[in-house]
Structure 1
């Protein structure tokens, strides 16, 4: 009799792999499994966000860091202080700050839940990459956020001076946080590209040859996506995202090539 795990494995055979288990798991059961993973991720996010709520001051200082690092001539009369224009603005801003912290600090949990939902459908040889995949995904997501954070001063400097000397910056807290949050989350998600490509190569959807043939297309796509993800639109920030992404694209090709060579050697040994 097939277990639930066996049936879940069967659903992940879309590329012609043979399986002795009939894909009898219903759509409802698929949705239940997905709901469970989403629930775990949401609980982790909520718990971490509650903890971050009580660490609001140091988190706020960290997020204001790129703005406060600018020279006084780039700032308005309020310096690097942020303003709000509604009575409830301060409380809503605090919730958004803690939510942003919750997304980043709970990333090991929700990235694991994504992998846990996918992994039952993989072969045993593919499952051995579970821990490296998870660690790499977490590290790359955080590194992406850090790279965005480090490029923020340059982007802010350009955006706050591009209008000329007749304009003075008067930054609203909510909009500043949206700008910083989009940059950090966008970079974090984009830095997952090599993990995604390596996974598709591992399960046979992409080949090394396909990735090598489409280098130019990949480069154009990376530059275009980088332009969309970077709200500042300045060349420095765009390159800070596009260059690492393309290098990681090449790294994915190299990693897949090494895996394929190992598989070929194992077949010859047998």
Structure 2
């Protein structure tokens, strides 16, 4: 009886030792993650400080860009109107909006918030790099090779999405809302915080949405998403894309919604191709394994 009790006691001690080791491993991972996040926060703060230092350029040329008739998007629209005889209304020659500030610390808060937004946008690739550094040790050599270029491609898609949101969606939305009036008695005097929030939400939102191929690649790798499933649910995906386009664009005009819908449909089709390649590589490796 005493031997049985001793054995049970030893088993209990061993089990507690394993649990303690697992807990220590968990907290060690949390500590590693904490330092990754600290480095990301420092990088964002540095970019924020740079944006704060060069704020004249950021405010005049970037934030206020969609309110100027010589903005790149409006110049391209005028050139298209002349080339294809689209009519004078397609060319933007006036943005009837007056920006106002109604709070005592409103303009200072504007500079802080916009500098922080610039810091987040510029620091996003570094955030992806730190995520990759955190996940990389847990991957096998094959997984590391297959995920090479993650930071580059994810950063590239994010930048393209932000630029698309800023130059296309923001410009078209500002132009539409500036000229929309329920009555001539009402003039558009917009709070600067509302204007900045709209531009930032559109640009950041589009940048995140453009990460769709990366998300599909990861889901395909873990077996959650397959090209067969994506093809069979294409019609439902089209409806979801329309809903996303309606959410991202603050305007109800068809032109702006189509400008968002077409790139998202293209990204969805690219995601199907990526999922097919992942599945093809999986089958190839399985075949090589069984033949060896």
TM-score by length of 2: 0.76
- Pairing 1:186–2:205 present: yes
2:186 partner SS: coil
- Pairing 1:105–2:122 present: yes
Q: Is the CA contact 1:126–1:202 (under 8 Å) kept in the aligned structure 2?
A: no
Of 201, 219, 228, the residue aligned with 2:247 is 228
> Which residue matches 1:66?
66
Q: Is the CA contact 1:147–1:240 (under 8 Å) kept in the aligned structure 2?
A: no
- Pairing 1:132–2:149 present: yes
Distance 1:30 1:95 in 2: 33
Distance 2:252 2:33 in 1: 36
> Which residue matches 1:94?
111
Deviation at 1:266, TM superposition (A): 4.4
Q: Is the CA contact 1:119–1:127 (under 8 Å) kept in the aligned structure 2?
A: yes
1:32 partner SS: helix
Deviation at 1:73, TM superposition (A): 4.6
> Which residue matches 1:161?
179
> Which residue matches 1:39?
38
Of 65, 75, 84, the residue aligned with 2:96 is 75
Identify the range of structure 1 (102-111 vs 178-187) with the bigger mean alpha-carbon deviation: 102-111
Q: Is the CA contact 2:217–2:275 (under 8 Å) kept in the aligned structure 1?
A: yes
TM-score by length of 1: 0.81
Q: Can you give the 5+ residue segments of structure 2 that lack an aligned partner in the other structure?
A: 1-20, 75-91
Q: 1:231 to 1:129 in 2, by over 3 A?
A: farther
RMSD (Å), alpha carbons: 2.2
Distance 1:73 1:48 in 2: 34
> Which residue matches 1:52?
51
Q: 1:132 to 1:233 in 2, by over 3 A?
A: farther
2:131 partner SS: helix
> Which residue matches 2:22?
24
Identify the range of structure 1 (224-233 vs 182-191) with the bigger mean alpha-carbon deviation: 224-233
Deviation at 1:199, TM superposition (A): 0.8
Q: Can you give the 5+ residue segments of structure 1 that lack an aligned partner in the other structure?
A: 1-22
Distance 1:226 1:34 in 2: 34
> Which residue matches 2:262?
243
Give the paired residue count. Answer: 244
Distance 1:196 1:227 in 2: 21
Q: 1:236 to 1:121 in 2, by over 3 A?
A: farther
